[in-house]
Chain A
Amino acid sequence: MCLAVPVQVVAVEGDEAEVDAGGVRRRVSITLTPEVKVGQYVLLHTGYAINIIDEAEAKETLKLLEDMLRLDEASR
């Protein structure tokens, strides 16, 4: 029910955007994320982009995870 999927914004037009959802183009509302830019990813839920995905944070999470596991292995 609270399912939201990451989709990439390919065009912005007023409070709507065209997004690429795994190869399928769709029109969605960006009234909740008006600052979104073309190229960014958003979390899409029931036709609304509910948040912009923070790409730097996405990379940081994976880096932290890899660092933690590496450190773990080194200390064993």
Chain B
Amino acid sequence: MKFVDEYRDTGLGRKLVERINRISTKPATMMEFCGGHTVAIMRHGIRQLFPSHIKLLSGPGCPVCVTAHHDLDQAIALVQTPGTIVTTFGDMMKVPGSESSLQQARADGADIRIVYSPHDSLEIARNNPRKLVVFLAVGFETTTPGVAATILEAERTKIENFCIKSLLKVCPPVIRALLNLGEVKLDGLICPGHVSAVIGSRPWEFIPEKYHIACAVTGFEPLDILLSIDRLVEQIEKGEPKVETTYTRGVRPEGNLRAQKLMEHVFEPCPAQWRGLGTVPASGLKPRAEYSSFDADIRIPVKVKAAVEPKGCLCGEILRGIKTPPDCGLFSIRCTPENPVGPCMVSSEGACAAYYQYGR
């Protein structure tokens, strides 16, 4: 496949690994923020290619994994509200809340439909005029422009029985929050490629400037990832952190301005709860006042009890990069993809699921 196979060349990959191992002398602890990168790194066995002073840690860049228990409980309460149909991405179905999951709620009779695109919700709304269709919007800046476009189309085509429960989040504030915690000492950061396709590479510039951490924005094929590690190692060796993009085919410094404009037109920043990190100011997005008829929190507010977190689950620590999945006592024993305890085992891009599938 074009723009895929060229970046899987094993000959070039091998030479690149040799080069990285040759130029690297200093300890280099790097975090891949994005769950998609975690999966690619595990699938291609990239962690094992380097000596122990080059470390790769998984970060909080999995929208399903970082969804807080409280928000999940609200989503589950929402699907149990009579007269609603909830649409969502498949990854959300098995994530356990305090007492139940969307999958359990569906088995108990709730009308939940898995969609490929937020846009599919509009067709469901048209076909079910007496029901309120609520799209459970989970995602980062990659996903949000499509949700914004869906809301604008609902407005234009006068679909009134549609709204979203926004669990949408933005990435730069949470990276700042993670670095401010100071628990994990990073030398380099692999920045999310498809978030950057939308927001550009410039929003990461505060990381080398303020935290002196090397940054590489990269794609998801093995050569993309190896090239980003090479760039990070070189920056670390020179002691000159900056933002380098090794995914210039998909990421421009300014990003996709039209997508950003749509996003800003429909949504405004709000505080958001992140699993493991708590409430982070301005790290969430909700529909602006003029689009409040599309906001489930305003249209059908639900109340839930205080969330009950599963005992022994280390998802929070894993998302902060201070523990790895094998550190968790539940990993692969009580917590498996078939019977997940925490969300990092549910999402196909969760660190625990990736370690379970490729790393054991």
Which residues in A have some Cβ–Cβ distance to B below 8 Å? 1-4, 6, 8, 22, 29, 31-34, 41, 43, 45-48, 50-51, 53-55, 57-58, 60-62, 65-66, 68-69, 72-73
Contact B146 A29 (CB under 8 A): yes
Q: Smallest CB-CB separation from A28: which chain B residue? A: B117
Considering the complex, which residues of chain B in the window 1-26 have a beta carbon less than 8 Å from any beta carbon of chain A?
A: 1-4, 6-7, 12, 15-16, 19
Q: Tell me, yes or no, whether B57 is within 8 Å of chain A by CB.
A: no
Contact A45 B149 (CB under 8 A): no
Name the residue in A48, A54, A62 with the highest tally of chain B Cβ atoms < 10 Å from its Cβ: A48
Q: Which of A6, A8, A34, A50 contacts B145 (CB 8 A)?
A: A50
Q: Which of A29, A51, A69, A72 contacts B250 (CB 8 A)?
A: A51
Contact B197 A1 (CB under 8 A): no
List 24 contacting pairs A-B, 8 Å CB cutoff, sorted by A.
A1-B35, A1-B89, A1-B347, A2-B34, A2-B36, A2-B139, A2-B140, A2-B142, A2-B193, A3-B349, A29-B117, A41-B3, A43-B197, A46-B89, A46-B117, A46-B139, A47-B117, A47-B118, A50-B256, A53-B3, A57-B248, A58-B3, A65-B12, A69-B16
Given known pairs A1-B143, A50-B259, the reply for A65 and B1 (CB within 8 Å) is no
| Residues in chain B near residue A51, CB distance under 8 A | 197-198, 250-252, 256, 259
Q: Which of B62, B63, B142 contacts A45 (CB 8 A)?
A: B142
Contact B194 A69 (CB under 8 A): no
Cα separation A31 to B156 with both chains bound (whole Å): 14
Contact B250 A32 (CB under 8 A): no
Contact A32 B2 (CB under 8 A): no
Q: Tell me, yes or no, whether B116 is within 8 Å of chain A by CB.
A: yes
Contact B249 A4 (CB under 8 A): no
Q: Which of A22, A53, A69 contacts B15 (CB 8 A)?
A: A69
| Residues in chain B near residue A22, CB distance under 8 A | 1
Contact A32 B89 (CB under 8 A): no
Q: Tell me, yes or no, whether B119 is within 8 Å of chain A by CB.
A: yes
Contact B64 A1 (CB under 8 A): yes
Cα separation A66 to B61 with both chains bound (whole Å): 31
Contact A6 B1 (CB under 8 A): yes
